[in-house]
Structure 1
Amino acid sequence: MSDVSNWDPVAVSEIIDSLRDVAGALLPILHAIQDSQGYIPEDSVAMIASALHQTSAEIHGVISFYHHFRTAKPGNHIVQICRAEACQARGARVLEHHAKTSLKLDYHGTTADQEFTLEPVYCLGNCTNGPNVQIDDEIIARVSPEKFDQLLDQKTTYIVELK
């Protein structure tokens, strides 16, 4: 199945060409593609495999091993909930349940309006202030279900105001 309409194969090719000779090139290539495209497009896997003289299965194995990489286009905002023990001890499980229920999806899912993608993360390094979430690149501490709703409302309101 081709996903050419959702990504820029020229940009991906340039990334691969610029990093293919770096020692341990696969991870830098995957990170650069995800930074550029927002995810690792399925059709880019064969390009990577060919450039690195590996099989597509080997590339898929690395992509699926690391929770950081995604293979589908994410929503406009990436919402990550910390699942580490310290955050769980401070209420992260309740927050997880609330987030999944209010967004009507499970981890690795994206809302129907393409606004939010929900992902687990296993430590945000802010353990004493849990439960923590990261929305896009911002870590937010002591997130209750009510605060979670307010944070998402702020993101949605901001998008509506821009339109």
Structure 2
Amino acid sequence: MDNMQLQRWVEHISMQYFHTPFLHQATFNSRLRTTGGRYFLTTHNIEISKKYYDTFSREEVEAVIKHELCHYHLHLRKKGYRHRDKDFKDLLQQVGGARYCKPIKEDKPLYKYEIRCTQCGQKGLRKRRIDLQKYRCAKCGGKLTLQTLSFDN
């Protein structure tokens, strides 16, 4: 799906569920990683995560579009468009939008390094490298070694 098809889809959902046209721009954003979409208060445009579209079903993406359209229509009507507002919650439930989007599972490992004590064998995981000359084992005071973890699938 490209941006033109997304634009038509958002316009269709807006007319079908909100009975009001969507007069601004809807686009995919490949940089969105932690959210399904977002609505801009200043431009009134909507962005949908390309990764979210590629990962989940069409129904899930439609629920995210409904969520963003709730922000859009309520903001233009000068009603409560924030997540905590009653107007937003009521409209979201009425149209069947998603309150929260499903998290996107990242393929990236959480930890890159393993630190091990040469004396007692105590292990620890780290996201970032450390200078082994500055630190000792907390359990026995022994020297530490750093090993880069490999995640071959």
Structure with the largest fraction of helix: 1
Length-normalised TM-score, structure 2: 0.27
Length-normalised TM-score, structure 1: 0.26
Larger radius of gyration: 2
Structure with the largest fraction of strand: 2
Where relative contact order (Cα < 8 A, 6+ residues apart) is larger, the structure is: 1
